[in-house]
């Protein structure tokens, strides 16, 4: 059997950066296993995903580069999964560099650069600006522009 690569993430608001890292990690081995953080585990990490866990897991499992998607529900799970799935490489985004060095005794560690210009955090920041008041202001502005266009016609 060839090399098995393992990675983890929340994969909320799935975007091209997520796809890029999965695609690049798959190139390191013959099998890619992806741990998708549960909603409960994300709460422990201080994250609140927009997309529910079951949907995020299904999205990740549906990606052609992914051979198996599994739930991730605790930090200690990484060492267990490495043994259970006979993992050769643990790959993570460069923003996690150094955080899992304690696993270097059982697995090769690979940290890949993030895709420039895209992040779930930034997407959430932009979307948060669209609260109800802002949406109403935007609708009002669009209505005003429509009225001006109508008067000019």
pLDDT tens, position by position, 16-54: 888 999 999 999 999 999 999 999 999 999 988 888 999
Mean of pLDDT over the chain: 88
Pairing of strands 31-37, 108-112: unpaired
Q: Which long-range contacts (CB under 8 A, 24 or more apart) does 118-125 make?
A: 118/15, 118/16, 118/17, 119/17, 120/10, 120/12, 120/13, 120/15, 123/13, 123/15, 124/13, 124/50
- pLDDT at residue 148 greater than cutoff 80: yes
* pLDDT number for residue 12: 87
Query: Residue 62: CB partners within 8 Å, gap ≥ 6?
Result: none
As beta bridge partners, residue 33 has 6, 68
Percent of the chain with pLDDT over 90: 61
* pLDDT number for residue 75: 92
Residue with the bigger pLDDT between 85 and 116: it is 85
* pLDDT number for residue 58: 95
Task: Verify whether residue 45 is a known catalytic residue.
Answer: yes
Q: Which of 3, 45, 78, 150 is catalytic?
A: 45
* pLDDT number for residue 5: 98
Q: Which of 3, 23, 47, 124 is catalytic?
A: 47
pLDDT tens profile 107-132: 999 999 887 666 666 655 656 666 66
DSSP state, residue 140: H
């Amino acid at each position: 059997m060839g090399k098995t690569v393992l990675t983890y993430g929340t994969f909320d608001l799935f975007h091209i950066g997520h796809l890029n890292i999965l695609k690049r990690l798959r190139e390191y081995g013959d099998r890619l296993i992806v741990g998708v953080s549960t909603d409960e585990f994300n709460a422990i990490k201080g994250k609140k995903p927009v997309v529910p866990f079951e949907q995020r897991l299904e999205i990740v499992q549906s990606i052609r580069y992914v051979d198996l998607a599994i739930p991730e529900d605790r930090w200690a799970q990484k060492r267990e999964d490495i043994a259970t799935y006979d993992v050769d490489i643990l790959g993570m985004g460069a923003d996690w560099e150094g955080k899992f060095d304690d696993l270097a005794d059982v697995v090769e560690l690979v940290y890949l650069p993030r895709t420039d210009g895209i992040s779930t955090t930034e997407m959430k920041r932009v979307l948060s600006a669209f609260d109800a008041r802002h949406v109403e202001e935007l609708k009002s502005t669009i209505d005003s522009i429509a009225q001006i266009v109508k008067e000019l016609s």
